[in-house]
Structure 1
Amino acid sequence: MESPILTIKNLHKRYGKVHAVNDVSLEIHKGNVYGILGPNGSGKSTTLGIVLNVVNKTSGEYNWFGGTMATHEALKKVGAIIERPNFYPYMTAQENLELVCKIKGINYSKVKEKLEIVGLIDRKDSKFKTFSLGMKQRLAIASALLNDPEILILDEPTNGLDPQGIHQIRDIIRLIASQGTTILLASHLLDEVEKVCSHVLVLRFGEILYNGKVDEMSNKSGYFELQSNDSQRLIEVLKNHTELESIKETEGKIIAYFKAQIDATELNKFLFEKGIILNHLVKRKLSLEEQFLELTNQ
């Protein structure tokens, strides 16, 4: 088996009294998409900052590519976008990327190839300042790919984007992964991690809550939004469901949480047999933020 691209062992980072990263360990293997998932302030960005050599660790260790090379050498094989992309507003997309090539000693031929991947080839001659936030983010990804990195690191890649922008970035991440690049991304969106990642490390207050494959993460935590013409009767009947965990009413909708996985068809049938006809039934998954609120409230 090849050595991991990145190995993190018992990493700690303290800022005064705050234990931002608390005993985090992780192995990243080639060809997978890893998510570091957690609400804001959970230590995701700090962890990325440490392995990218921009934040000093308090203790613990990490190494790139099996520890065969010094960190600064290894980082030449890493593509990363940590903060808002920094390009020259009056230069075109192509000129900005060519400048990056010049600084890093990369052949200009890569520019066109990477603009194709992020879907910006038809805007290569547009000035950066005319780009939407989503396009700026896509150009940043193209820039991080110029040196054909073995691993691409993204911190909250869809932050602040509209639904279309989010969708485009996620498609690009899938495309890059399908071409064999390993990806590590930090996100506070469970939905994002579920859609693009194969593995996930869940952090809360700097500590690991879960580390493993995405599809093995027990996700019973969902809820139903329901509406019928007789809310009181609906609530009474739901309370008789053996798997009901809790129920609440907000803005005319009934929100029902169940202990086990229940599908919408099953629930609809159960209610219909009790004489209740729904005019609204939606199954929703909890966002990670909500799951954490649930965890911390209990």
Structure 2
Amino acid sequence: METILSINGLHKHYGKVHAVNNVSFDIQKGNVYGILGPNGSGKSTTLGIILSVVNKSAGTYSWFGGAKETHEALKHVGAIIERPNFYPYMTAYNNLKLVCNIKGVPLQKIDEKLELVGLLDRKDSKFRTFSLGMKQRLAIASALLNDPQILILDEPTNGLDPQGIRQIRDIIRLIASQGTTILLASHLLDEVEKVCSHVVVLRKGVVLYTGTVNGMINSEGFFELKAADNTSLQALLQEHPAIDKTELVEGILFAYPKAPLEAADLNRYLFNNGICVDHLVKRKSSLEEQFIQLTSNQPEN
């Protein structure tokens, strides 16, 4: 699979603050990547470095296998890393016409991209009349005018209402379905889980996880259990070789396996040892649960 971007050992210092700390990951063509982390985790700094608007302290990155110099490679990259900035008293069409002239893009691309983001019927409306969500969609249209191989978005739904969030997410899925690679930074777990195929988890500039979203979610999961005697149930669960830990919360026992374990096998084990459960369900860990577990296990700087 073709590598769009390769990042190796990237560092960025702001005085005593180590904003990006030995970050490494690859972006493969055709996937939707999310850089996930709380505010201050180094997401925007990492994007700024690869887009040559922030100077790195150490490390390397290369676009398209190093076949092109960064300046030339960025001509094949579309990016939105700040709030949309267009001329307020010009129409959507005329704003994009300016971008086409700057980038040397044919004007017929304007209607094509406006239709893609659902703004073709507002092409002659002034930018100042647009809602925040519409402004963001126009920015996406602008970033797509040169048919980039990769689209980079920094917090694309920040500040939007639920309808605006849904529209942006639908557009991201549509763009991805047409073969454009996407890299987005977000602090929203729901956003990454719904639109991304791959995720890089950052905390205080350090990569905690990199891989597929499904690979992060599809851990061993966990069990919810309840019995007439939860104390005996918990003691027996803790003796099972595949159970890592247990906790009792509001009358429900949660058991977290450290090795593959099916509900039927656990139920048989309990029954053979004299425990009949009233409730036993195996659940898949959500991205939120995995994220909290990752970040809570990371020591403070």
Q: Please indicate the TM-score interval, normalised by the length of the shorter structure.
A: 0.7 to 0.9
Q: Gaps spanning 5+ residues in structure 1: where?
A: 225-232, 263-272, 277-282
Give the secondary structure class of the aligned counterpart of 1:22. Answer: strand
Contact map agreement 2:221 2:257 (CA 8 A) in 1:
no
Cα distance in structure 1, aligned partners of 2:53 and 2:95: 24
- TM-score normalised per structure 1: 0.79
Q: Gaps spanning 5+ residues in structure 2: where?
A: 238-242, 262-275
CA distance 1:53–1:123, shift in 2 (3 Å): same
- TM-score normalised per structure 2: 0.79
CA distance 1:138–1:64, shift in 2 (3 Å): same
Letter in 1 for 2:106: N
Partner of 1:266: none
Partner of 1:77: 76
Cα distance in structure 2, aligned partners of 1:212 and 1:294: 19
CA-CA distance at 1:66 after TM superposition: 1.3
Aligned residues: 285
Superposed CA deviations along residues 133-184 of structure 1, whole A, max 9, x for unmatched, are: 1111111100000010011000111111111111111110110011111111
* Superposition RMSD in Å: 3.7
Cα distance in structure 1, aligned partners of 2:174 and 2:207: 29
Letter in 2 for 1:139: L
Cα distance in structure 2, aligned partners of 1:134 and 1:236: 53
Partner of 2:27: 28
CA-CA distance at 1:240 after TM superposition: 9.0
Contact map agreement 1:35 1:197 (CA 8 A) in 2:
yes
Superposed CA deviations along residues 249-293 of structure 1, whole A, max 9, x for unmatched, are: 7xxxx997966999xxxxxxxxxx9889xxxxxx99464775566
> How does 1:102-251 map onto structure 2 within 5 Å?
102-218=101-217, 242=237, 245-246=246-247
CA-CA distance at 1:218 after TM superposition: 3.7
Cα distance in structure 2, aligned partners of 1:78 and 1:255: 50
Cα distance in structure 2, aligned partners of 1:86 and 1:168: 20
Cα distance in structure 1, aligned partners of 2:76 and 2:174: 19
Superposed CA deviations along residues 48-101 of structure 1, whole A, max 9, x for unmatched, are: 100000000011101111112211111111000001010111111111111111
Contact map agreement 1:155 1:187 (CA 8 A) in 2:
yes
CA distance 1:123–1:294, shift in 2 (3 Å): same
